[in-house]
Amino acid sequence: MSTLSNAVSNPNTDTARLVELLQVSRERFLSSFADVGAEQARWRPAERSWSVLDTVEHLTLAEKTMLGLLTGPRRPRSADLPNREGVFLRGLTDRSRKSESPEGARPNGRFATLDEAAAQFQAARQAAIRFVEQNTEDLRATEITHPHPAAGVVSAYELLIIMAKHAERHALQIEEIKTALTLRTGTAKIQG
């Protein structure tokens, strides 16, 4: 996978890089739970932990929210807004730091099945990819207030990086859940 840089912006290169980042992270996320069955999808490793289904629900809600921010009205970027593309690329997948999800993206059983949640995630992600492919403006020139206080105000370009890396972060979380389930059941593989 290519890395995004803080170099001079080239719209064609930027588009290709963002699309690749979104596609690769989509596949990584979907493959993380491809072998999880219905019963395993609802299992929680601890009382206040999320299940695989909860995690997919959360990511789906977050994707839809972020897509709405991208396609809605955006402000011109403030001159003092720092460029944090590299920070988001490197740091968002770090699972050693936990953070609380904004209220609107917390799972509460909105989806009956993993397949239903995955389909909604795929639709939102495809819409984000289409947005990038059809975009003609400089995504670094506008800003959005992200609903998570840790992100704060970000450029539209950074928000797309956040979307991609957020999916990768939760793919890692699903792998952790599957490992805990395997240790609990003593089976070598999750049964689909």
DSSP 38-70: HHHHT--SSTT---HHHHHHHHHHHHHHHHHHH
Task: Dump pLDDT digits (tens) for 18-53.
Answer: 999 999 999 999 999 999 999 999 999 998 899 999
Q: How far is CA 24 from CA 19, 28, 42, 127, 184, in A?
A: 8, 6, 26, 15, 31
Residues 107-122: pLDDT tens digits?
Answer: 999 999 999 999 999 9
Mean pLDDT over residues 67-77, rounded?
A: 95
| Phi, psi torsion values for 116, nearest 5 degrees | -65, -45
In order of 22, 139, 143, 149, the CA distances from 78 in angstroms are 26, 13, 8, 18
- pLDDT interval class at 123 (50, 70, 90): very high
Query: The pTM is what?
Result: 0.88
CA atoms within 13 A on the CB side of 14: 21
Residue 119 and residue 96: Cα distance in Å, rounded? 29
The DSSP output letter for 105 is: G
Q: Which domains are seen in the chain, by residue range?
A: 11-185 (1.20.120.450)
Neighbours of 108 (CB within 10 A): 8
Residue whose entry in the numeric block shows the structure tokens 């601890």: 46
